[in-house]
């Protein structure tokens, strides 16, 4: 009962008018962009539009950015509002408080990404042709990716105890690292979490590569050289990131002392 109360409270804290505005903006950006593109392309190109926007905009942009906002906000808003002291004086273990906030952040990031990709599918192929795109698979992988990214950014927020640092680092990570590293030749792609996500939810050329290698183990090569990431490796890496980042966040949050922002300054 107490865990559900902590979760519902965390969920309510994350749903603020200003944050919801940005969530709605990022979420609706995808179907709106798809509508504009489809308006000027031949109907036969709609599958291409779905694959490219799902990969670059939903997985590569909306999911990552919202994971940054929600995961860092799950802790840093308490520092900004100077309510961190009251939060930590509750007669509940610290790790349970942070775990509830982690789950709430992941749920919010997943829900927004789901809305974005469902809207994308409806705009590009319509209700009667949803079977032509891998919407079910994408809906399954999005929560896994949300948990992984939320765990990383939550750990950064718990470690620094700052409101601005994890947000800036997270945005740079989403805009630069995850955009550039997978494009580099060789094994650089192994340092990108999105490379493993794309193996489990391939789109476009990634999907063609997966289908081509299905007889030899469903392999996906992200570049012409270097290590080839398999589905098994992708699952192991993503699940390991979730467990390690969350466990590290809970440990740090349980032992670290936090002070409100103004007092810290």
Q: What is the pLDDT of residue 224?
A: 43
What would the two tokens of residue 17 be? 């008018």
CA distance 112 to 31: 12
pTM value? Answer: 0.85
The helix/strand/coil state of 230 is strand
Q: Are strands 229-230 and 219-220 parallel, antiparallel or unpaired?
A: antiparallel
User: Distance of CA 139 to CAs 15, 32, 54, 133, 221, Å?
Assistant: 22, 20, 11, 11, 23
CA distance 170 to 147: 15
* Interior angle at CA 83, CA 78 and CA 84, nearest 5: 65
Beta bridge partners of 220: 229
Mean pLDDT, consecutive 10-residue stretches, the chain (265 aa), reads 81 78 90 92 86 92 91 74 62 84 94 96 89 91 96 90 75 80 79 92 66 42 62 96 96 78 50
Are 104 and 183 within 8 A, CB to CB? Answer: no
Q: What is the pLDDT of residue 11?
A: 85
* N- to C-terminal Cα separation, the chain: 37
What number of CA atoms fall less than 13 Å from residue 238's CA on the CB side? 25
Are 195 and 220 within 8 A, CB to CB? Answer: no
Nearest to 160, CA basis, from 263, 68, 239, 72 = 72
Nearest to 61, CA basis, from 167, 174, 144 = 174
Q: What is the pLDDT of residue 213?
A: 46
Q: What is the pLDDT of residue 208?
A: 53
Are 69 and 19 within 8 A, CB to CB? Answer: yes
Residues 6+ apart with CB under 8 A from 132: 47, 125
| SS3 per-residue string spanning 92-143 | CCHHHHHHHHHHHHHHHHHHHHHHHHHHHHHHHCCHHHHHHCCHHHHHHHHH
Q: What is the pLDDT of residue 89?
A: 66
Are 14 and 78 within 8 A, CB to CB? Answer: no
**Rg (Cα) of the chain, in Å, rounded?**
19
Structural domain boundaries of the chain? Answer: 2-259
Alpha carbon of residue 250 to chain centroid? 19
């Amino acid at each position: 009962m107490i865990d559900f109360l902590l979760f519902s409270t965390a969920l309510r804290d994350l749903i603020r008018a200003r944050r919801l505005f940005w969530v709605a903006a990022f979420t609706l950006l995808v179907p709106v962009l798809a509508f504009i593109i489809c308006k000027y392309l031949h109907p036969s190109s709609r599958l291409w539009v779905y694959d490219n926007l799902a990969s670059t905009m939903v997985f590569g942009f909306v999911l990552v950015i919202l994971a940054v906002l929600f995961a860092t906000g799950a802790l840093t808003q308490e520092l900004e509002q100077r309510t961190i002291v009251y939060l930590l004086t509750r007669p509940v273990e610290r790790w349970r408080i942070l775990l509830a906030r982690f789950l709430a952040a992941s749920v919010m990031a997943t829900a927004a990404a789901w809305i974005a990709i469902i809207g994308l599918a409806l705009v590009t192929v319509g209700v009667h042709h949803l079977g032509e795109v891998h919407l079910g698979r994408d809906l399954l992988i999005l929560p896994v990716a949300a948990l992984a990214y939320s765990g990383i950014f939550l750990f950064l927020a718990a470690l620094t105890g700052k409101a601005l640092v994890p947000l800036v680092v997270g945005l740079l990570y989403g805009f630069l690292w995850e955009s550039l590293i997978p494009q580099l030749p060789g094994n650089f792609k192994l340092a990108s979490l999105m490379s493993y996500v794309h193996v489990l939810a391939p789109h476009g050329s990634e999907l063609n590569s997966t289908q081509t290698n299905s007889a030899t183990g469903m392999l996906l090569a992200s570049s012409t050289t270097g290590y080839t990431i398999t589905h098994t490796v992708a699952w192991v890496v993503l699940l390991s990131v979730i467990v390690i980042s969350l466990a590290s966040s809970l440990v740090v949050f349980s032992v670290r002392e936090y002070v409100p922002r103004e007092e810290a300054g």
